[in-house]
Structure 1
């Protein structure tokens, strides 16, 4: 009889162990320093879903990783920039967004939804938008001389220039200085941009897309490219760091949430998107990391010093000649990639 009782207890115990739910997890693949820790902590507390946060420093790195792991389900949520949403959508790398599971979508700026790269936002939900412009240290450089991308070629900046480690962004400035569109698909124009950028390379001290403000803060560079949010964060520690909208036109981009194909935790991904789209959370993110929120309800909650900061929220004049980055297609991307590799290797 004791053996039967013991066997019964063991069976019940094993059955109880088997019925325990697996911990709920969200694997978020995002840019470095692009989501406040407070937001992740609050999401975990409110939902019980653990966030595993992995980072990348360029769209190319993100895309290569997801392409390599295509359909594996390793990531539940990623944050590509404008043109990569289109590229990944066309290649079947994304799941459709279930809008019935998303709350707060109506709060998004109408000018930033239903874009050509993803009509009706079938595969993406806007997260943040911003610009890539010029930065300089006003303690070391005369600000009157820093007004355009072309100024980077000034001889006095030899060895003091920083570029983002982003192929399309770097080629954008070469193309715009030559008078071409930053979205050019013309191989001859791309080659000319490569030649122009090759002339700049002796002045380039570093490429940085992990935290582009740091080379300025650490005194490694005095002038170069920067993302507007990085400029805002950098100015908190270095008041002399100034952000400039170049005369040739700044780069404008929109980063969006997407769900990779066969994501194991797609429901958690939808929950996280809805959580971030709460006006209070979107406002917290914009204030904390300096980028513009597409959430109109969140903008109303921002302090005046944030809402009126031109670095984060540019005026119409600031966006004169600005260009959104677009998908240039596989053929042009191969041309860009070939010349980018030559540029980086010094060949």
Structure 2
């Protein structure tokens, strides 16, 4: 006699009981004859408009598992492309957007942004108040995400001498003809000339802008293209097709990891300071989920992990306390006081000045984009 669960029943009797138990259960589990099983409900989807390579995918998966949702990231390659994508639908179809200050102010004026406050995003309390004071009305609709500066990367094995300022980019050595990459953004691309000439990055003087245009046109034969350096082993900077480029500070660190001959310089004339922000679109039907996502990214541990992953400075003060000493000591990520004093944030421009910036950028980048 075999032993089943401590009993002395025969094997055949046990099997029959097990069979009838399965049959009884199937009456409740299986769909009626001729009727298909109901399809599984698709998880709710959050659409996030973001730069490529600007997020820790481990954090995305953690949020998805925590909330039982799917985060779909839509990528843009330039600030202009982001504006174009959102303008096609007046912001509809997107839930969370990573927006610069300049773009964010424009979206606010178009009434595309939903309000964000401490009730909807409790972790907003960790954000440095200094950043939130920059544009009070905009900051009622945004949560600062990361900040940094712009500078110059160059191949120190190919470029002779030390690169110290924007003049090395705008009036370069003859050997750099066709070897320079400029950022493909009308405001960013004009910073080198504006700062080298001693002007503000927010200049509204038509006379100053005329000089900027002449300076950029004189540089044009040295520019291979207007765009952004790819951040992988196929990057033109890594391979040596480009010898010098203007870049965002965090991108410089990624490129240096790929090639030890890539050096970075903060321009001695000063530079621009940028702040990226997370905003929720007013047209979103998933505002609560969008707020939860922003709140999740601002949990101090998550914000610290993200800052280390993307090589950027975080405006989250609680997260800053959790960063590694190596990250905090890196002066490309955390510039010194002298660099900060020479840096300016972009401000809005009058329409006629905006038009002039656009015309300069189009003329100088024509045929190179």
Q: Tell me, yes or no, whether TM beats 0.5.
A: yes
1:3 matched residue in structure 2: none
* CA–CA distance in structure 2, aligned partners of residues 329 and 92 of structure 1: 19
Q: Deviations over 1:168-222 (max 9, x none)?
A: 0111112122221111122332232122111111101122236367321121211
Structure-2 residue corresponding to 1:147: 164
| Rg (Cα) greater in structure | 2
Equivalent residues of 1:84, 1:327 under 8 A apart = no
Distance 1:120 1:333, change over 3 A: closer
Match of 2:86 in 1: 66
The two structures, once aligned, show a CA RMSD in angstroms of 2.4
1:208 is aligned to 2:196: no
Change (3 A) 1:317 1:71: closer
Q: Following TM superposition, where does structure 1 have runs of at least 4 consecutive aligned residues deviating by more than 6 angstroms?
A: none
Q: Deviations over 1:6-45 (max 9, x none)?
A: xxx87xx89x959x76521110001121112212111112
Q: Match of 2:251?
A: 230
- Aligned pair count reads 335
How far the C-alpha of 1:224 sits from its partner, in A, is 2.0
Over 3 Å counting, the alpha-carbon distance change for 1:331 and 1:263 in structure 2 is farther
Contact 1:212 1:226 survives alignment (8 Å): no
**CA pair 210-346 structure 1, distance change in 2 beyond 3 A:** closer
1:343 to 2:361 alignment = no
| 1:6 counterpart residue number | none
Q: Equivalents in 1 of 2:204, 2:297: separation in Å?
A: 36
Which of 100, 113, 121 is the equivalent residue of 1:81? 100
- Whole-Å Cα distance in 1 between the matches of residues 210 and 366 of structure 2? 16
Shift in Å, 1:143: 4.8
Instruction: Note the alpha carbon deviations across 1:90-121, whole angstroms, 9 max, x for none.
Output: 121212224312021111112211322x4372
Residues 128-147 of structure 1: pairs in structure 2 closer than 5 A: 128-144=146-162, 146-147=163-164
- Written as runs of structure 1 = structure 2, the 5 A alignment for 1:28-177 is 28-72=48-92, 74-116=93-135, 118-119=136-137, 121-144=139-162, 146-152=163-169, 153-156=171-174, 157-177=176-196
* 2:314 alignment counterpart: 293
Shift in alpha-carbon separation, 1:329–1:271, aligned structure 2, 3 A: farther
In structure 1, the residue matched to 2:346 is 325
Q: Relative to 1, partners in 2 of residues 1:93 and 1:332: Cα closer, same or farther, differing over 3 Å? A: farther
State the match for 1:270 in structure 2: 291
Are 1:25 and 1:268, in contact at CA under 8 Å, matched by a contact in 2? no
Which ranges of structure 2 fall in alignment gaps of 5 or more residues? 1-30
Residue 249 in 1 paired to residue 265 in 2?
no
Report what 2:323 is aligned to.
Answer: 302
Confirm or deny: 8 A CA contact 2:117 2:124 kept in the other structure. no
TM-score by length of 2: 0.84
